[in-house]
Structure 1
Amino acid sequence: MDVHTGVSLRANVAARLERLPMTRYQRSLFGIIATAWFFDSMDLGIMTFVLGSIKAEFALTTTQAGLLASSSFLGMFLGAAIAGMLADKFGRKPVFQWSMIFWGVGSLACGFATDVTWLMVFRVILGFGMGMEFPIGLSMVSEIVPAKSRGKYVAILEGFWPLGFIAAGILAYLTLPLIGWRGIFIALSIPAVFVFIVRRYVPESPRWLEEVGRDAEADAVTTRIEKHVIKANGGKPLPTPAPPINEMPKKQDKRALFAELWHGVYAKRTVMLWALWFFALLGYYGLTTWLGALLQQAGYEVTKSVMYTVYISLAGIPGFIFSAWLLEKWGRKPTCVLMLVGSACAAYVYGQVATAQAPVAQLIGAGLCMQFFLFGMWSVLYAYTPELYPTRSRATGSGFASSIGRLGSLLGPFAVGVILPMTGHTGVFTLGAISFGIAALVVIVMGTETKGRSLEEVSG
């Protein structure tokens, strides 16, 4: 009897993957995807720390600076929508690799921008690659890790975003006085060569291969995964797969149609996710992209504003860890609501103390609380979203939700640039708090729970 215990393929890839114990092999695949995610997050987060310097060099108004800060999110909007459909048609792995190439080239080009217009263009290219990578990375991890561990690992994957954000801040603090913002963008393009590691070691999703009718390849990939797991598990035999886990019958054309996101149970989920992503990202990026520049405008020098931003971002680490733990203990929906409500309250409080006259201890304390909930919110978003769609349209659904979120992230920094001269810091952070509150209300009214259920069970 072979490694899949004599069970036929259609009885099936999902059942075979779900019965696998978590071993160092799956964790190594996760680590590769998470590392790419980390580098991507550094490129996205760096604007928080260099926006003030760019604004000064090009003598930008607050509105122009807001447009620049928003430019990468235009690329992310396009990348997230396109990548999801491409990944459901051509596979997760090739699209993931192309995403890394786009953000690497975009980051390199940013370092050579001759004026702010070209810098915006290159940030759009950079954002396009980042927008491609995020939903595909989510789908890959969701389809490799068994249901009993899926929420935790997807949440940990998102935790590499605060780590990347903090690393970007440390890089800016150490190198901004030496190589300037241009040198930083050039340096951040180098990790794109990690694409060769992804190409060599990460397999295509067997769930996707089976879904599009490439049964022999799905069987071969699943068999290789099983062999690696047996080896990593000390040679112990695998448990017998559960009865077949079936989604809706495969469509003859093998296509994941956008229209399916609006059929049956998926329609309500799509409305909920789109609203959640839009308002959560409007609030998040409207605030965090401007954190360093706002502190500089309040009277803090560049190096202090960068370091204070790094300090408060450290709370993101326990924030995403706590969220990852709570996802499995308490559930997706209540954890999401908690993190959004906490973000709303903390953002409002931070807006009251983010001035040069406020004691530094108050500033950092309020900021720590805000970032704890903000990064915890991210963990839930990325764990929850891919669970609500079937394999055939998972990347498409996740991609469009992320893409709609990028509309919010596109609007947020620009809106801050417009309202800042009129309302000051307090108005900016009140806007963020309102956005998070609306997102929480949407989840309360329309959200569904997915804790502990296989992807196929959730799909119905």
Structure 2
Amino acid sequence: MMEIRGNKLLMLIGTAWLFDALDVALLSFIMPVIKQSWHLTAGELGAVSAVTSLGMMVGALICGYLADKWGRKPVLIGTLLLFSIGNLLLTVTPSVGWFIAVRFLTGIGLGGELPVAATIIADHFTGTKRARMLVLVDSFWAFGWIVASVLSFLVMPHFGWRVTVLITALMGLYALLVRRHLPDKTPTEPTNQRPFGAALRQVWSPQYRRATACLSVLWFVIMFAYYGMFLWLPSVLVLRGFSIVHGFGYTVLMSLAQLPGYYLAAWLIGKVQRKLVLAVYLAGTMLSAAAFGLATNATMILISGAWLSFFTLGAWGIMIAFTPGQFAVDARGMGMGFAQSIGRIGATIGPFLVGALMGLGVSITGIFMVFVAALVIGILVLLFGLRDQDRN
């Protein structure tokens, strides 16, 4: 059996995070364009935003299970194929109804890709090496945002959103060819033939119940905060007169600020208990969110926004490193997929809640305090609910 180690595996699997980030970022740039061209209502635009998260929730749960049953490689390739086909279809959607339907299909591929990709890394490495590799592979999220920023500011204004999406579909098809070099089996890959219900009961068995519950809450909190803050509030700040937040430089700065957050986390893991590192990053996210919500000028927005990007995505990376080790290899795909599928519920609620609170006249500061409160809950669940363990 061919085995892939180190940087080569990192590059092959890192494309999963790159395409997820690319898709999320592009959608945030496409939404204002289709709102204007198709004359969408606020409800229709909200459905466009939420349907991808709904598809990702389904994809994470189903593909995590299938990765344990059919093997990691075929399921990972299948998720990217869904992403590519979805984006090809998106380029010819004639209406918002078809757009929403295709986005659901694309979301299944995107949501299924990350837990399966993380499981492959977890299967290849153990201990501190596993944790560091998972944080580093998650850092490809920043590169996905940078690629999306370049496409949105250099391609979309001249050729439209359909051509921009076509480029991402072609990139996905190229990545499919590259992924042929993945090993057919990972070193510890299970041959788990349990039906879906039995696999779900396993991750809720006494052996895993506590970890599954706590990880699900943490993923919900992190995705709720990330998607709520990063997808909507820059637009809110524009309405308050801070046009800098929609500039190319701001978007790239927010993306670049993620990288030192990831790399510091990767360095700290192994030197400091992972649970403590995650708690510090969540606390940093909480404080940065409060500062960002209180920002009153462009300088404060840039500084607090950079720190928010640093800590939020770093915490996400540590969670990617923390989650697979809580499950043995025969339950790893399902455990990772289930926890992230609950997180996708948070990713759906977060943006909708921001819009609802804005409609009720709640201030930006008040909205950010909601995220601060959620992060406090997450920190308490981490400190008192989870054990820092690493199952092979």
1:111 paired with 2:91, answer: yes
Q: Secondary structure at the match of 1:161?
A: helix
Distance in 1, Cα, partners of 2:303 & 2:43:
29
1:93 paired with 2:64, answer: no
Which residue pairs with 2:381 in the alignment?
A: 442
The aligned runs of 1:305-344 (5 Å cut-off) are 305-344=247-286
Which residue pairs with 1:298 in the alignment?
A: 240
1:183 paired with 2:163, answer: yes
The aligned runs of 1:195-210 (5 Å cut-off) are 195-208=176-189
Distance in 2, Cα, partners of 1:299 & 1:114:
34
Count of residue correspondences: 389
Which residue pairs with 1:386 in the alignment?
A: 324
Q: Deviations over 1:187-219 (max 9, x none)?
A: 1111222112212343321311xx328xxxxxx
Which has the greater radius of gyration?
1
Q: What letter corresponds to residue 384 of structure 1 in structure 2?
A: F
Deviation, 1:43, is: 1.4
Which residue pairs with 2:11 in the alignment?
A: 31
List alignment gaps of at least 5 residues for structure 1.
Answer: 1-12, 18-23, 214-250
The 3 A distance-change label for structure 1 pair 289 and 304 is closer
Deviation, 1:316, is: 0.5
The aligned runs of 1:379-418 (5 Å cut-off) are 379-418=317-356
The 3 A distance-change label for structure 1 pair 189 and 26 is same
1:262 paired with 2:204, answer: yes
Identity percentage over the alignment? Answer: 30
Q: TM-score, normalised by structure 1?
A: 0.79
The 3 A distance-change label for structure 1 pair 116 and 433 is farther
The 3 A distance-change label for structure 1 pair 289 and 57 is same
Which residue pairs with 2:368 in the alignment?
A: 429
- Bigger mean CA deviation after superposition, 416-425 or 439-448: 416-425
On the 8 A contact 1:287/1:428 being kept in 2, the answer is: no
Q: Deviations over 1:99-147 (max 9, x none)?
A: 0011111222223322222222222111110111000000001111242
Q: Deviations over 1:165-195 (max 9, x none)?
A: 2221232122231123222222111122211
Deviation, 1:62, is: 4.1
The 3 A distance-change label for structure 1 pair 252 and 412 is closer
The aligned runs of 1:38-437 (5 Å cut-off) are 38-193=18-173, 194-208=175-189, 211-212=190-191, 257-299=199-241, 304-353=246-295, 358-421=296-359, 422-437=361-376
Q: Secondary structure at the match of 2:145?
A: helix
The 3 A distance-change label for structure 1 pair 253 and 316 is closer
Q: What letter corresponds to residue 305 of structure 2 in structure 1?
A: G
The 3 A distance-change label for structure 1 pair 165 and 402 is same
Deviation, 1:330, is: 1.0
Distance in 2, Cα, partners of 1:61 & 1:288:
21
Q: TM-score, normalised by structure 2?
A: 0.92
Q: Secondary structure at the match of 1:329?
A: coil
- Bigger mean CA deviation after superposition, 162-171 or 77-86: 162-171
